[in-house]
């Protein structure tokens, strides 16, 4: 009789209560407890190597690649951007940008250049990162004009949240979504891979 009662409890799903009674709900557990970090893509080592050479965080580069191409080397845009990081370069033939190493070299160097360019204009490191991402998405000229437009209207041109108040004359909705999306993915990768080391 006791065995039959246990079978009924199992069927009803009630036998799981003692096993979960002492555990925290999943939403309150640290990510590391139930997600095992694994490779982001088949290009992980190349991403880390190119990022190290350019002096940028490989997790940020991976987040950009996720939004630009979903890690598809053959991705292309109607504006002529190509490869993992969706880059264009007058120095390279378009076909050569389909080589992952070349594409990553061009993209990471451009990202670093944007960070250096906007560093003196931004209020802090996070603001600089937002400016660099906006420039990566829409072009450095547009981002520079956005800063100028903000300052001309009495807004703080060193802060992204002030710049996005501009309408018209500010970043497009697509660029705002891009910056937010890349930062969200960057935070996700930073949780999964706490060290910036390439080893």
Q: Which of 36, 68, 148, 180 is catalytic?
A: 68
- Selection from 115, 118, 137 nearest residue 181 by Cα: 137
Q: What is the Cβ-side half-sphere exposure of residue 198, based on CA atoms within 13 angstroms?
A: 18
Active site residue 148: no
For 43, which DSSP code?
A: T
| Terminal Cα-to-Cα distance of the chain (whole angstroms) | 59
- Selection from 164, 109, 106 nearest residue 134 by Cα: 164
What is the dihedral sign for C-alpha 164, 190, 115, 54? negative
Q: Strand, helix or coil at 87? A: strand
Decide: 136 and 113 in contact? Cβ < 8 Å.
Answer: no
Contacts of 45 (CB under 8 A, 6+ apart): 198
Report the C-alpha gap between 100 and 97 in whole angstroms. Answer: 7
The residues carrying an active-site annotation are 68
């Amino acid at each position: 009789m006791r065995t039959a009662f246990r079978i009924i409890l199992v069927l009803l799903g009630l036998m799981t209560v003692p096993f979960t009674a002492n555990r925290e709900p999943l939403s309150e557990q640290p990510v590391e407890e139930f997600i095992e970090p694994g490779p982001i893509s088949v290009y992980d080592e190349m991403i880390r190597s190119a990022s190290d050479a350019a002096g940028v965080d490989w997790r940020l580069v991976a987040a950009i690649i996720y939004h630009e191409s979903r890690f598809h080397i053959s991705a292309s845009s109607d504006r002529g951007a190509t490869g993992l990081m969706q880059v264009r370069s007058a120095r390279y033939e378009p076909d050569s940008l389909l080589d992952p190493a070349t594409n990553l070299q061009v993209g990471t160097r451009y990202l670093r250049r944007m960070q250096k360019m906007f560093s003196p204009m931004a209020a802090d490191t996070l603001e600089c990162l937002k400016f660099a991402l906006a420039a990566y998405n829409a072009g450095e000229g547009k981002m520079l004009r956005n800063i100028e437009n903000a300052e001309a209207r009495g807004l703080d041109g060193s802060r992204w949240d002030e710049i996005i108040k501009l309408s018209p004359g500010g970043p497009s909705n697509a660029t705002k979504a891009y910056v937010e999306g890349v930062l969200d993915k960057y935070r996700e990768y930073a949780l999964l891979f706490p060290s910036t080391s390439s080893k």
